[in-house]
Amino acid sequence: MSVARNWAGTHTYAAPRIVEARSIDDVRRAVAETAPGPVHALGTRHSFTDLPDTTGTLIDVTGIAPVFDLDEDARTVTVGAGTRYGVLALWLHERGWALPNMGSLPHINVAGAAATGTHGSGDGNRVLSASVRALRYVGADAEVHEVRAGDPDFDALVVGLGAFGVIVSVTLAIVPGFRLRQDMYSGVTWDAALSDLDAVTGAGYSVSVFSTWSPETLGVVWVKSRLDRDDDAIAETLLDGRVDPDADPLPGLVDVTERGGVPGPWMLRLPHFRLDGEPSFGDEIQSEYFVSRADAPAALEAVRALGDGIRPLLFVTELRTMAGDDLWLSPAYRQNALAIHFTWFNRPDEVAAVLPAIEAALAPFGARPHWGKAHGFDRVAMERVHPRLGDARAVFERLDPDGRFVNDHLVRVGVREAR
């Protein structure tokens, strides 16, 4: 059996059995042979909770050989669910195409990222799930089903949390390839940023702010600028900050994509980390909360007030933005959003103790937690911030009436009914 821990080593899966699928038929057999017991999909293990767990059988789809189907007329690519974004990105780049956006880690698999509402950044960019145009999945009947954009259940199933089946392939929208450069800005004060947050988050095609909640300054602003020409000029100032080639938002980490204003192709600039290197810090816990961008300055002020309790447990906070979408369980459903992300030291008891204070501070803003990261939300709290949660739950119950894909986590957060 595979090592039953998540990527960071901070969560151990309870499932007594993991099937390492090598084909779609392997997935079908695993679902059929374990009936009527519970099953659940497993990807690249970037969840920090028991979301992708079960008391029965986990089906690991990452061993299915990647198969790509490019439709240039439709501007889509269909890819196996377990394929890592970085592998897909390289394949597309070689053919002159691109993904509209990528997450900070190119190591995550396509279906798992889509199913949890994972995202990159950019005021005009949507979560990665919003690029999905079709899903194929193995349902509780061990048959392959397909749902496409425009179908009645589509908006419920894209951010589907493994609650209705095992996704085996995903069709994504693509765009022509493009080039970017990455520059760091430092010295932006909180006062300036909160007075004109749009100037910060709109400073490039994709913008991330790395902060440790210091009292005066925002942190390092990592700007990814899309280029028409490699010699396009960039702004030397950002509010009361300036370009700073020596600024390091992730001190001590070496496996990052090339910065310093060096132009390069999209797939080597949109992620923060290189596919051939180690992602992030490792041995970490992550939490993330999404608020409307209209509420972002006030929400950030509320978290700033907790800075003294946050800093001792924190590697770094990352702030990112995304445009709204219509996917029922997306963190950006019907709102342009700001994500407040925390990368914590592996101190589970202390992190668990500080999360309630953060969630209470963000409660007035209807903050939605990332589905795959540590949080304290239960069914009632989730229903308060996700207006379509009940509708999505009804779809999942209809597609899986015997509860094959139900687990404790999905019940706890109200995505499935208890069995």
The length of the chain, given as a count of residues: 419
What is the SS3 assignment for 89? helix
Joined tokens for residue 279 = 């992602």
What is the SS3 assignment for 191? helix
**At residue 189, does pLDDT exceed 60?**
yes
Distance CA 69, CA 80 (A): 10
* pLDDT value of residue 1: 41
Contacts of residue 228, defined as CB under 8 A and 6 or more positions apart, other chains included, come to: none
Using one digit for the tens of pLDDT, what is the confidence trace for 376-406?
999 999 999 999 999 999 999 999 999 999 9
What average pLDDT does the structure give for the chain?
96
> If you write DSSP's letter for every residue of 104-124 in order, what string do you get?
S-TTSBHHHHHHTT-----TT
**Residue 248: DSSP 8-state:** -
> Cα-flanking dihedrals φ and ψ of residue 390, to 5°?
-60, -40
Mean pLDDT of 19-42: 96
> If you write DSSP's letter for every residue of 133-158 in order, what string do you get?
EEEEEE-TTS-EEEEETTSTTHHHHT
The DSSP bridge partners found for residue 286 are: 343
Using one digit for the tens of pLDDT, what is the confidence trace for 310-321?
999 999 999 999
Helix H or strand E encompassing 31: helix 24-33
Using one digit for the tens of pLDDT, what is the confidence trace for 237-283?
999 999 999 999 999 888 999 999 999 999 999 999 999 888 778 88
Radius of gyration of the chain (CA): 21
Whether 64 contacts 24, CB under 8 Å = yes
> Cα-flanking dihedrals φ and ψ of residue 308, to 5°?
-65, -30
* pLDDT value of residue 91: 98
Q: For the chain, what are the domain ranges?
A: 179-369
CATH level 3 topology of 179-369? Alpha-Beta Plaits (3.30.70)
Q: Out of 43-57, 196-210, 353-367, pick the least confident.
A: 43-57
Mean pLDDT of 368-381: 97
Buried b (16+ CB within 10 A) or exposed e, 331-343: bbbebbbbbbbbb
Mean pLDDT of 82-98: 97
pTM over 0.85: yes
Q: Which amino acid is at 317?
A: T
Distance CA 208, CA 317 (A): 10
Tokens 């990352």, residue located: 318
Q: How many CA atoms lie within 13 A of 399 on its CB side?
A: 29
**At residue 154, does pLDDT exceed 50?**
yes
